[in-house]
Amino acid sequence: MSENHAWWRRAVIYQIYVRSFADGDGDGLGDLPGITAHLDHVAALGADAVWITPFYPSPMVDGGYDVADYRDVDPRFGTLADADSLLVHAHELGLRVIVDIVPNHTSDQHAWFQQALAEPGGPARARYVFRDGRDGGATPPTDWRSVFGGPAWQRVPDGQWYLHLFAPEQPDLDWAHPEVVKEFHSVLRFWLDRGVDGFRFDVAHGMAKDLAEPLRDLGPGQVHHKIVGDGWEGDHPFWDRESVHDILRGFRQVTDAYRPPRVTVAESWAALDRRALYTRPDELHQAFNFDFLGAGWGATALRATIDRSIALAETSGSAPTWVLSNHDVIRHASRLCLPEGADHERWLVSGGTQPALDPAAVRRRARAAALLLLALPGAAYLYQGEELGLPEVADLPVDVLQDPVHRRSGGARKGRDGCRVPLPWSRTGPSYGFGTGPGWLPQPDLFGALSVEAQSEDPDSTLSLYRAALRLRRTQPPSAHLSWNPSAPEGVLDFTVGALRCVVNAGHEPALLPASPPPLLTSARLPEAQPLLPPDTAAWLHAQLPGR
């Protein structure tokens, strides 16, 4: 493996959602041995690293993001020995491994929280956010709302309330407590010593809270949480507070003590200009670019987001990141094809019945978006299955839905299970090769034709397109500079990064391409009679550099 300390600046990182990648023991749930057995797929794709979602012991109330023990592996996912084997095999394949750390909250089954419940008024409660209620203890301390719906406070038998910004089974930690800081620094060293190459920090914008007494209400009509947009107005009591940056600096100091230095990544839903603060030289290396994910499919919005993302990354000395899908949002193959005028924020996390979409349009636009993503300067994050062009599974039966977003909304929101359906590896079988029996969520019939086996044999498949794009990307000299073609027609993104020119037709009319030389790669077959780029199509070409 290269020892380039800044490998992450232009890396392609492949996200593995453990439960849904590959089932190694036939219990219907993905696991670490399943990942290890299929890492060759990721290496053959051309990725530089994998990011693996939580595999720690957990009651699985929130898919593993409710952690009961940060230093072990849940028996459903394997053992510590399996984690070590995964790391060894990934490194043999030239893949680095980034693991998830969930520092905002623990599971209510964590030993610390169990101790806090057992000792009313004891010192263990200071590690969490316990408060007395109002109205003689009968009502929550504040009007704060949970991201998953309902109040952000849960009452315990002795009458106190604890804060949970997510599910009630996910009590928030108090990061002003020195024992919390010490414990998580120790957790990082535990995994660094085992050989991980970096960390993705969940809810990095939420760890610091304003807990000065009396706690303040947000008041009617105030924003408690957001999916995309401009962030929160003013001094919000629990999102994107200035004091969170001291916590991040502490994480960076721990990882920088290792050689080569390990990468640190923030999941932060703060506004883009605020998010740039998370990647200052003494904080984290990267932060996910959710503004790009939420920009929709339109040249004007995409260009504005790209320009702003690059400019802000330059101000912090980091490199931009680009992501279209992950385990929390509707798969972009479907999301980018929502009807014009649809409320994009509403559909970012499924809010109801998704409209029927044309499969051909889904495939066409997803392939064009892939070439856009992979042409941009900086790091690209791929979510498992997007290389297969998997759509959102929008018609899962209600009785199989497991996401707390669905349960806490009383069924009003479908939640995130539709993007978490197990991957199809083969054309046939009870779970299309995911395991030896059915997976934890049912797969639609179309998954057989979209499987890795089926697409590996098709030179025109989406999988073949991703492999070709990543091969070409590796041959391009690194460049952080993007320049736009000022004469691009309306609806067309036309830019150059280094020696590569990318043209994406996000409009409604065909766009003219140069007659020669022929494109290096296109997301769809182009008309032979004339060099036209149809709508929802992208092409990579040699850049016309000065002096050529």
Residue 113 has a CB neighbour count (10 Å cut-off) of 23
Active site residue 395: no
* The one catalytic residue among 48, 74, 172, 202: 202
SS (H, E, C) 1-50: CCCCCCHHHHCEEEEECHHHHCCCCCCCCCCHHHHHHHHHHHHHHCCCEE
Q: Coil, helix or strand for 311?
A: helix
Q: Would you give the end-to-end CA distance of the chain in angstroms?
A: 35
| Cβ(422)–Cβ(34) below 8 Å | no
| Cβ(498)–Cβ(485) below 8 Å | no
Active site residue 210: no
Greatest Cα-to-Cα distance within the chain, rounded to the nearest angstrom: 79
CB-based contacts of 387, cutoff 8 Å, min separation 6: 45, 462, 463, 466, 467
| Cβ(383)–Cβ(365) below 8 Å | no
Q: Which of 152, 458, 506 is nearest to 304 (CA)?
A: 506
CA distance 357 to 531: 29
Q: Coil, helix or strand for 505?
A: strand
CB-based contacts of 199, cutoff 8 Å, min separation 6: 98, 99, 100, 101, 188, 191, 251, 255, 262, 263, 264, 265
CA distance 196 to 138: 46
Cα–Cα–Cα angle for 164, 287, 503, rounded to 5 degrees: 130
* The one catalytic residue among 267, 283, 386, 387: 267
Residue bearing tokens 């999941």 = 267
CB-based contacts of 146, cutoff 8 Å, min separation 6: 152, 164, 165, 166, 167, 168, 408
CA distance 386 to 14: 10
CA distance 299 to 296: 9
Q: Which of 116, 120, 28, 13 is nearest to 440 (CA)?
A: 28
Residue 420 has which token pair? 């978490």
Residue 26 has which token pair? 């036939």
To 10 degrees, the CA torsion angle through 186, 190, 196, 199?
Answer: -30
DSSP class per residue in 53-99: ---SS---TTTT-S-S-TTS--TTT--HHHHHHHHHHHHHTT-EEEE
Residues belonging to the active site: 202, 267
